[in-house]
């Protein structure tokens, strides 16, 4: 059984604050966020309900000293719908962010992973944001 454990403190607070601000300016609202302890080379599954037709933004922040960062997302039928990969030295570096609009209202599983040759225990941070439906004007 996998138990999520939060990290001691939050080493990514500055990055998180700037991403939240930028996302808010684009009209997104924060649904969920978590700082989680991860182990190098092991996926950390995150299961989230998503509504069809809603625009979501998912953000994963990994340890800056890791060499590789990947995020895979699967729909309820275990079909991979998103795959993102960053390597140390890439422009985005330790931050993977993408938008996704599901076709069906169902649970999705998101699996971030990071590879670090020097550290076994790592800190990761995940956020799920959504763009609210426009309200009808009378």
Whether residue 110 is contained in a domain is answered as: yes
Q: What residue numbers bound the domain in which 30 lies?
A: 13-130
Whether residue 52 is contained in a domain is answered as: yes
Tell me the HSE value of 16 on the side-chain side, using a 13 A CA sphere: 17
Whether residue 5 is contained in a domain is answered as: no
What's the pLDDT tens digit per position in 52-99? 999 999 999 999 899 999 999 999 999 999 999 998 777 678 999 999
Whether residue 93 is contained in a domain is answered as: yes
Enter the DSSP assignment of 19: H
- Whichever domain contains 88, its CATH number is 2.60.120.380
Whether residue 4 is contained in a domain is answered as: no
Whether residue 135 is contained in a domain is answered as: no
- The pTM of this model reads 0.87
Whether residue 8 is contained in a domain is answered as: no
Domains of the chain: total? 1
What's the pLDDT tens digit per position in 114-123? 999 999 999 8
Whether residue 79 is contained in a domain is answered as: yes
Phi then psi for residue 133, to 5 deg, are -65, 140
Work out whether the CA dihedral 7, 11, 17, 23 comes out positive or negative.
negative
SS3 22: helix
């Amino acid at each position: 059984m996998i138990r999520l454990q939060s990290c001691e403190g939050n080493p990514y607070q500055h990055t998180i604050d700037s991403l939240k601000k930028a996302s808010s300016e684009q009209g997104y609202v924060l649904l969920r966020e978590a700082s989680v302890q991860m182990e190098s080379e092991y996926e950390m599954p995150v299961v989230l309900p998503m509504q069809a037709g809603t625009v979501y933004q998912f953000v994963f922040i990994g340890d800056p000293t890791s060499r590789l960062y990947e995020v895979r997302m699967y729909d309820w039928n275990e079909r991979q719908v998103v795959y993102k990969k960053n390597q140390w030295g890439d422009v985005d570096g330790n931050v993977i962010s993408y938008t996704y609009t599901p076709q069906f209202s169902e649970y999705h599983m998101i699996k971030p992973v990071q590879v670090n040759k020097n550290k076994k225990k790592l800190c990761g941070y995940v956020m799920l944001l959504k763009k609210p439906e426009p309200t009808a004007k009378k």
